Amino acid sequence: MPELPEVQNTINGLIKKVLNRTFIDVWTDIKRFKNIKQKIKNKKIKKLYRRGKNIIFELSDNFSLLVHQKMTGHLLYGEWILKYGKWQPIKNKNLEDPYNRFLHIIFFLDNKKMLALSDVRKFAKIKFYKTEELKKELEKLGPEPLDKNFTFEKFKKLFEKKSGKIKQVLMDQNVISGIGNIYASEVLWVSKIHPEKSVAKLSEKELKFLYKAIKKVLEISVKLGGESFSDYRKPDGSKGGFDSERKVYKRENQKCKRCKTLIKRIKIGQRSSFFCPICQKL
C-alpha cells in the first residue's frame, strides 16, 4: 500500500502538472465511480496536498476530491489512446510498465492530458466532498510525522495511556498518520525495537530513538521517490528508489544488514512483520 513517502511523491509529481487545470470529462469501468463524472466536470484544481495517506484535490466552488490509493492503486499523468478496448499509453515508455496497465478511471484535463488510476485490485477510494466537510473528516487523523512542529514532546504524548504492540500503534492512523506496514517495520529496525514490544514498556530513550528513526526513514524515502518493489509507481510511471535502502521489510531469511542474523517474519494483527531477532530483542 502506498504510504506517506509514496503519496508525497505522487503529490510532488502532479502538483506542477495539474494545478489550475480543469476537469472536462471522466471515463471509468467501475460502477461506484460512475457518479463522479457529473460532479467533477468543469471543476478547477485550486490546490493539491497530502494528509496521511490521502491525496486531496481542492476544487473550485468549495468542493474537494479525495483519493486514497489503498493496496495497489497509483495515479499516473500522461496520455492514453483506446485501442481494441484497452487504454494504451503514448509518448511515455514508463507508462508501459506492466503495473501501470490496470486503468480503471481516467480524468481528462483541459490541457489534453489525462490523470489515470491504475489499480489491479480495484480497492482504491475516490470520493467527492464539500471542502469543509472533508476538512472535518481529516481532523480525525493523527499528526503528520514530518511536520516541522511535530516535536519529540508531542510525539511522546501520543503514547500516554496507550496499550498494545508498538507495531500496531504506529500503523494506527488516528495516532500518527502516514505510516503503514513497510515503514513501521523499517523504523522499528532502525530504532532496535521489537515489533511486539508493549507501548507501555517503552523507555524515554527508546521513544527518542523511535522518533528520530521515523523522521529519518520517511525523509530518506521521500527523497528517493518511495518504495516500488511491488505495485507503486510515480505519476510519470517510473519506479521509486527506496528499495536499495530497505532493511527488513520482505527480507525474511535474508541477513540482517547490521548483525548478519537471518531476518524473521511474524504475524501481528493479521499483518506480516519483519525484524531481526538479535538487534530487536523483546
pLDDT in tens, 9-35: 999 999 999 999 999 999 999 999 999
Which helix (H) or strand (E) covers residue 155, if one does?
helix 152-158
Q: Are 171 and 164 in contact (CB under 8 A)?
A: no
Beta strands in the chain (DSSP E): 23-28, 45-51, 54-59, 63-68, 73-83, 86-90, 103-109, 114-119, 125-130, 264-268, 271-275
Count Cβ atoms within 10 A of the Cβ of residue 38 and give its class: 0-12 exposed, 13-18 middle, 19 or more buried. Answer: exposed
Tell me whether domains 4-138 and 152-275 share a fold: no
Which amino acid, one-letter code, is at 43? K
Structural domain boundaries of the chain?
A: 4-138, 152-275
Q: Is residue 10 a contact partner of residue 236, using CB atoms and an 8 Å limit? A: no
What residues act catalytically? Answer: 2-3, 53, 271
Q: Residues with Cβ < 8 Å from 237, sequence gap 6 or more? A: 76, 78, 89, 92, 93, 94, 95, 96, 97, 100
Q: Report phi then psi at 201, rounded to 5.
A: -100, 5
pLDDT digits (tens, 9 = 90+) for 60-111: 999 999 999 999 999 999 999 999 989 999 989 999 999 999 999 999 999 9
Provide the whole-model pTM: 0.96
User: The cell 496520455 sits on which residue?
Assistant: 79
161 versus 133: the higher-pLDDT residue is: 133
- Per the CB < 8 A criterion, the answer to whether 142 and 172 are in contact is yes
Residue 191 has a pLDDT of 98
- Whether the per-residue pLDDT at 177 is higher than 90: the answer is yes
Beta strands in 9-167 (DSSP E): 23-28, 45-51, 54-59, 63-68, 73-83, 86-90, 103-109, 114-119, 125-130
Exposure letters 157-191 (e unless 16+ CB within 10 A, then b) = ebbeeeeebbbbbbbeeebbbbbbbbbbbbbbbbb
Q: Give every strand in the sheet of 86-90, ordered side by side.
A: 23-28, 103-109, 114-119, 73-83, 86-90
List pLDDT tens digits, range 241-257: 999 999 999 999 999 99
For residue 161, pLDDT over 90 is answered with no
What pLDDT shows up at residue 1? 80
- Asked if residues 158 and 176 have their Cβ atoms less than 8 Å apart, the reply is yes
- Angle, helices 204-224 vs 4-18, to 10°: value is 40
Q: CB 152: neighbour CB atoms within 10 A?
A: 14
For the segment 169-196, the average pLDDT, to the nearest whole number, is: 98
Continuous segment of H or E residues that includes residue 136:
helix 131-138
Q: How much is the mean pLDDT over the chain?
A: 97
Q: What is the mean pLDDT of residues 180-209?
A: 97
Q: Of all residues in the chain, what percent carry a pLDDT higher than 70? A: 100
CATH number of 152-275: 1.10.8.50
Determine the pLDDT at residue 5: 98
Closest to 103 measured CA to CA, from 30, 54, 53: 30
**pLDDT, average across residues 198-218:** 97
Query: Count of residues for the chain?
Result: 282
Residue 215 clears pLDDT 90, i.e. is over it: yes
4-138 is a CATH 3.90.226.10 domain: no
Grid cell listed for 264: 524473521
Average pLDDT over residues 52-63: 98
Interaxial angle between packed helices 181-190 and 204-224, expressed in degrees from 0 to 180 and rounded to the nearest 10: 130
User: 176, 192 in Cβ contact below 8 A?
Assistant: no
CA distance linking residue 45 with residue 37, whole number of Å: 15
pLDDT at residue 202, as a whole number:
96
Q: Is the pLDDT of residue 214 over 90?
A: yes
